[in-house]
Chains A and B, each alone.
Chain A
Amino acid sequence: MTAATWRKIAIATAVHIAFVAFWWLAVILGDVPEYILPTPWLALKTLGEPNFNWVFHFTATAQEIFGGYILAVVVGVAFAMFFTWSARLDAALMPLLVTLNMIPKVAMAPLFIVWLRFGIQTNIVITFTICFFPILLNTARGLREVEPDLLDLVRALNGSRWQIFSKIQLPGALPYVFSGMKVATVLAVAGAIVGEFIQSDRGLGWFMLVTQEALNTDAMVMALMLVTLIGVVLYGSVILLERIFVVQDARVE
């Protein structure tokens, strides 16, 4: 890594620490009551409380987020490929998908719970539904965006459809796949939590509702931080994969 990269990392870390310090100071100097906003330390201390079953809830939510997200990546990319493969399928189904995309996916959650009963699987489905569209639409766009002249170059050599797909379209679409995946990370976290909010018996979202009743704000804040942590890990993994697989110049922000 270059000195510039280190600098960036150092600055980012410093800003994060400053943010936590600001929170801490604000609570203390503002004399904020604990049930409104605890200090970071108080929130952190709730991790030591065995009754809270942190590991159990954390694992449940992480499963929902990662499960739904990975499923959306696999199915979304696969669908996009089908569409690119068949112009007819694309013409027939793309408009429908654009319409379906307009459905507020969060509002589908209660229906899913009616259909599938509540549970981790249902929340995976909810997360999947939210993440699916941006990944599909971005990937489809990437697969479509091929230089016509480049196609000519390959076709002049009797290149097969598969060669065009595997050598030009797919690697060319990769930056777009990642762009969709990055958008979907935020949605994945929201999707899982919404599912847990509506009906559930586990997970950090559910846990927040329970602790809210007892006005255990410190535990709620801790749960929120853990959800965020899952999101950050997810986003970080996507960025890492992008760095590995996409050449710097081709990355889409």
Chain B
Amino acid sequence: MGNISYEFPVAKDDFERAGEASSKIKKILRQLGMDSGIIRRVAIGAYEAEMNLVIHSLGGVISITIDPESIIITAEDNGPGIEDIELAMKEGYSTAPDRIREMGFGAGMGLPNMKKCSDDFIIESVVGKGTKIVMKMMLKDGD
């Protein structure tokens, strides 16, 4: 079986459509008949990444690649980048302004959640360029 791959553009500040990419990803995995536990982990990781693109970035792309061993979610944006990744990864750290907090975001739990949902988690960022996150979830027999 060949790899399956999809890309979804995500626009900055587009709260109307925020979550659509993750919703589509969830539906694709359901149609493939995958186990509900791994679908949930992928959906939560993708959604946290998607919301970060909407809230904190200048826009970017979420993509999913499914191969026989794993599901890989990648979130790549066009800036502004993260200065201190270690700090950003801390539970509770958030720079979200009040208008974002009023919408239910800004707990500073998104990046830690993504890491928790992944078997393998990579974050790279260059200030002025952008941030790239790769989450890999391994498929087990039965998924």
Binding partners A and B:
no
Interface residues of A (CB under 8 A from B): none
